[in-house]
């Protein structure tokens, strides 16, 4: 039980902000491109309470943390927030701009992963003097990099309604784009099918490893980080 509570404490803030800022970035970019729907509904805020989805932001991440904390290996967690509403009719160039809005979420996760890399470096700098701050920072930084890179590569899969699917749709000819968008009702089942067969990690795993190694190299993190 102590291990489970410790795991939840380490992952709670990184997961909450990874999910929240992912959604806020969609609304913020949409506003820049002409759609103020998210702003009018009060969704352009980093207050997590405005974005929390009971299932995707609380039950699924906590459930995964509890399950993986009781098994060998590192914790595995993902989740989602309430989608920020975007009205494509308000955008200046609806098809292209929706692709840009979609790309903003994964890009925000990449930036957040870099932020957590800086927190790890700060933590190592404080070791030996302020261990009570340093150790939580290092572990939360590792969790922050993990959840943000995982959300980024997962959302970039070219399957509607994931962000990657919307990006692909935005650059297809209109008729093909409309046909491609019809996949959206089946997108969740496609992802669940890939997950159940083990193919999901086979697809995103190499990209996850690439970006984690890239961040570790960029910020010269110690080799023991992520093994």
pLDDT value, residue 69: 63
Q: Do 81 and 38 touch, CB atoms closer than 8 A?
A: no
- Cis amide prior to 210 (ω within 30 degrees): no
Which residues of the chain have a pLDDT value below 70? 1-3, 68-76, 227
pLDDT value, residue 7: 75
Rounded to two decimals, the pTM is 0.90
pLDDT value, residue 158: 95
Query: How far apart (Å, rounded) are the C-alpha atoms in residues 131 and 154?
Result: 34
End-to-end, the C-alpha distance of the chain in Å comes to 25
pLDDT value, residue 227: 61
pLDDT value, residue 142: 94
pLDDT value, residue 214: 95
């Amino acid at each position: 039980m102590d291990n489970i509570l410790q795991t939840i404490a380490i992952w709670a803030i990184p997961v909450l902000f990874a999910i929240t800022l992912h959604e806020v970035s969609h609304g913020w970019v949409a506003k820049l491109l002409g759609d103020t729907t998210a702003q009018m509904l009060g969704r352009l805020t980093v207050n997590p309470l405005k974005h929390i989805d009971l299932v995707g932001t609380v039950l699924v991440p906590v459930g995964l943390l509890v399950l993986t904390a009781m098994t060998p290996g590192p914790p595995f967690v993902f989740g989602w927030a309430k989608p920020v509403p975007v009205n494509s009719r308000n955008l200046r160039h609806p098809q292209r701009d929706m692709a840009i809005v979609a790309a903003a979420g994964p890009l925000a996760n990449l930036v957040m992963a870099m932020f957590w890399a800086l927190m790890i470096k700060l933590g190592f700098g404080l070791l030996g003097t302020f261990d009570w701050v340093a150790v939580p920072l290092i572990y939360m930084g590792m969790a922050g990099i993990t959840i943000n890179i995982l959300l980024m590569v997962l959302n970039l899969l070219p399957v509607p309604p994931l962000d990657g699917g919307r990006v692909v749709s935005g650059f297809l000819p209109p008729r093909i784009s409309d046909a491609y968008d019809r996949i959206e009702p089946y997108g969740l089942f496609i992802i669940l099918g890939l997950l159940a067969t083990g193919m999901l990690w086979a697809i995103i795993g190499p990209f996850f490893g690439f970006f984690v190694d890239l961040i570790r190299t960029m910020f010269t993190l110690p080799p023991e980080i992520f093994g």
